[in-house]
Amino acid sequence: MSKSVLSTVLLLCVFAMFGLPVAGLAGEVAEQSGADAMFWASNTWMLVATFLVFLMHLGFASLEAGMTRAKNTVNILFKNTAIISIGILTYALVGFNLMYPEEFTIGLFFGFGGFGIGELYDNVYIDDGIQAYTYWTDFIFQAMFAATAATIVSGAVAERIKLHSFLIVTTLYVAFVYPWLGSWQWGGGWLDDRGFYDFAGSTLVHSVGGWAALAGVILLGPRLGKYVNGSIKPIMGHNMPLATIGVFLLWLGWFGFNGGSVLSADPEMVSFVFVTTAIAASAGVMGAMILSWIIQKKPDLTMALNGALAGLVGITAGADVVSVTSAVIIGFIAGLIVVVSVIGLDRAKLDDPVGAISVHLICGIWGTLAVGIFSSEFSFATQLIGVVAYGVVAFAAALLIFGLVKATIGLRVSEAEELVGLDIGEHGMEAYSGFEIYTTQ
């Protein structure tokens, strides 16, 4: 109970002792107690959502490790451990105040609120006149999203990128590019002013990460032995149980990713977002499962897993504004799209070991456009403008960062390191010490 409520209760007791009217004060106590309760509930739910999004990083690590070869497992796990740390620290240093600058200094395109966090520690965010959550809760919740954008890149460039080069690219991209682009909508910038809508980040998180992944794949080139004499040689992941665990952890975490983006503990809206999120993921599994089974003649677990993620990415932009029926359609189409995209990128010789570009970039675009198709509140043309704007700037920025790193310290490990595996080449250790690791292509 807050001090204001406690003092009002004491005053009520005094009034009652002397037979004075207490009806008005009682109403004030009830109103204040309700507001306090909603604040506590909303702030607590936002923190619960934060640790669910944090758990997604274990999901990404498990999925990427399982979908790649055993000889690169330590490298995958190291990158995912570093990414969450880099994401939180850079977001504290510059990212948060780039994304939410309060005032834009160059039109509605750029603003910066200064280095560091903590100046507004007493600030409480208001939703519909009710205290919703604290400054600190807002920061830590949004910091998890920043790290997620960088994690998307990790899987796409796996098994052949130099560790230090990857960490430099990640730091620059997540510190400056991601939050700056995020300010265009979530920070109240020019796209928000035009009516562009992205509820939880189909474009702002997933496509922004996906464009960087595409740039990295193009500049790195494919893994050794992937494309030989015009043919495509499958390079199978080493641990499908681990990959499956990763997807279910991501699915669980997505309830925090989308549910937390309600930015309050509003029971109806949070529950509704949970439903559309689960429905879309399920439909994505079905879409990917059916189409891949038809094309490949056998059921493909990796396609079904990516179908779940495709549905989740697809619904993320509009989970709060589309109907349940629309969520089914959005998720199912995302499941179809991810299968076509994975096969298409492979034929284009763009080597993405985990399907990150297909899941996060392609399905992120679809989910953002779907808001304009399935919700009467938003314009398809405006959604398209946002998709194009983010694509042009994010891809160009990622190409520039990757290109500069490639031209200076290089991006790719040596052929010998790639053949023996990055665990030995980059880290001098093995994920499965004492077990025979097959290093043939």
9 has pLDDT over 80: no
Is 43 part of a structural domain of the chain?
A: no
Is it the case that residue 408 has pLDDT exceeding 70?
Answer: yes
pTM: 0.89
Average pLDDT, the chain: 89
Write down the residue that tokens 């679809």 correspond to.
366
Domain assignment of residue 292, given as a range: 54-427
For residue 435, what pLDDT is reported? 65
Mean pLDDT of 414-422: 94
In a domain, 23, yes or no: no
CATH number at residue 352: 1.10.3430.10
| Tally of domains within the chain | 1
pLDDT value for 428: 92
User: Diameter of the chain by CA atoms?
Assistant: 96
Q: What element of type H or E holds 6? A: helix 3-17
Region of 231 (left: φ > 0; alpha: ψ -120 to 50; beta: rest) is: beta
Q: Please check whether residue 275 lies inside any domain of the structure.
A: yes
Tokens of 400: 């520039």
Identify the residue with better confidence: 140 or 438.
140
So what's the pLDDT on residue 36?
A: 73
pLDDT digits (tens, 9 = 90+) for 133-183: 888 999 999 999 998 888 999 999 999 999 999 999 999 999 999 999 999
- Residue 110: inside a domain, yes or no? yes
List, for residues 195-243, the tens digit of each pLDDT value: 999 999 999 999 999 999 999 999 999 999 999 988 899 899 999 999 9
* CA dist., res. 123 & res. 112, Å (int): 18
Average pLDDT on 239-256 reads: 97
Q: Is 234 helix (H, G, I), strand (E, B) or coil?
A: coil
More reliable by pLDDT, 255 or 128: 255
Q: Does residue 11 form part of some domain?
A: no
Q: Is residue 388 part of a domain?
A: yes
